Amino acid sequence: MMQIPFGDLKRQYLTIKEEIDEAISNVLARGWFIMGEELRTFEEEFAKYCNAKYGIGVGSGTEALHLSLVACGVEPGDEVITVPNTAVPTVSAISCAGARPAFVDIDPNNYSMDPSKLEDYLKKRSTTRKVKAVIPVHLYGHPADMDPILEIAQRYGLKVIEDACQAHGAEYKNQKVGSLGDAGCFSFYPSKNLGAYGDGGMIVTNDSDLAKRLSMLRNYGQENRYHHKIKGFNSRLDEIQAAILRIKLRHLDRWNKRRRQIAKIYDQGTALSEIKKPIEMGYSKHVYHLYVIRTKNQEETQQNLLDNGIETIIHYPIPIHLQEAYKDLKLKESKFPHAELHATESVSLPVYPELKDSEVQYICDAISGL
Ligand SMILES: Cc1ncc(COP(=O)(O)O)c(C=O)c1O
The verdict on the CB of residue 162 being under 6 Å from ligand 1 is no
Instruction: Look at residue 369 and tell me whether its pLDDT is greater than 90.
Output: no
Ligand 1 mean position, distance from CA 57 (Å):
15
In ligand 1, which atom is closest to the CA atom of 199?
Answer: 10
For 125-159, the DSSP string reads: ----SPEEEE--B-GGG----HHHHHHHHHHHT-E
Strand 201-205 to 54-58 pairing: antiparallel
Round to whole Å and give the CA distance between 132 and 100: 11
Mapped onto helix, strand or coil, the DSSP state of residue 185 is: strand
pLDDT digits (tens, 9 = 90+) for 129-177: 999 999 999 999 999 999 999 999 999 999 999 999 999 999 999 999 9
Round to whole Å and give the CA distance between 55 and 206: 9
The verdict on the CB of residue 60 being under 6 Å from ligand 1 is yes
For 15-35, the DSSP string reads: HSHHHHHHHHHHHHHHT--SS
**Taking the C-alpha atoms of 214, 218, 220 and 221 in order, what is their torsion angle to the nearest 10 degrees?**
0
Ligand 1 mean position, distance from CA 185 (Å):
9
Average pLDDT rounded to a whole number, residues 351-355: 98
* CATH architecture for segment(s) 9-246: 3-Layer(aba) Sandwich (3.40)
The verdict on the CB of residue 189 being under 6 Å from ligand 1 is yes
Round to whole Å and give the CA distance between 168 and 82: 19
Work out the burial of residue 76: count CB atoms within 10 Å of its CB; fewer than 13 is exposed, 13-18 middle, 19 or more buried.
exposed
Of 80, 189, 193, the residue with max ligand 1 atoms within 8 A of its CB, to mutate for a pocket test, comes to: 189
Confidence of residue 196 (pLDDT cuts 50, 70, 90): very high
Which of 7, 9, 38, 16 has the alpha carbon at shortest distance from 248? 16
**Rg of the chain, C-alpha, whole Å:** 21
Start-end of CATH 3.40.640.10 domains in the chain: 9-246
* pLDDT the model gives residue 126: 85
> For residues 161 and 185, is the Cβ–Cβ distance under 8 A?
yes
Confidence of residue 359 (pLDDT cuts 50, 70, 90): very high
Start-end of CATH 3.90.1150.10 domains in the chain: 251-368
Round to whole Å and give the CA distance between 213 and 58: 13
Ligand 1 mean position, distance from CA 100 (Å):
19
In ligand 1, which atom is closest to the CA atom of 65?
Answer: 4
Average pLDDT rounded to a whole number, residues 52-74: 98
Residue 113: CA count within 13 A, CB half-sphere:
31
In ligand 1, which atom is closest to the CA atom of 289?
Answer: 16
> For residues 298 and 346, is the Cβ–Cβ distance under 8 A?
yes
The verdict on the CB of residue 165 being under 6 Å from ligand 1 is yes
Name the residue at shortest CA distance from atom 12 of ligand 1.
165
The verdict on the CB of residue 163 being under 6 Å from ligand 1 is yes
Of 58, 62, 194, the residue with max ligand 1 atoms within 8 A of its CB, to mutate for a pocket test, comes to: 62
The verdict on the CB of residue 90 being under 6 Å from ligand 1 is yes
Instruction: Look at residue 254 and tell me whether its pLDDT is greater than 80.
Output: yes
The verdict on the CB of residue 89 being under 6 Å from ligand 1 is yes
The verdict on the CB of residue 137 being under 6 Å from ligand 1 is yes
> For residues 342 and 106, is the Cβ–Cβ distance under 8 A?
yes
Confidence of residue 178 (pLDDT cuts 50, 70, 90): very high
Q: Taking all residues of the chain, what is their mean pLDDT, rounded to a whole number? A: 97
Round to whole Å and give the CA distance between 223 and 215: 8
Ligand 1 mean position, distance from CA 199 (Å):
10
Ligand 1 mean position, distance from CA 241 (Å):
17
The conformational region for residue 2 under phi > 0 = left, psi -120 to 50 = alpha, else beta, is: beta
Residue 93: CA count within 13 A, CB half-sphere:
32
Side chain identity at residue 355, one-letter code: L
* CATH architecture for segment(s) 251-368: Alpha-Beta Complex (3.90)
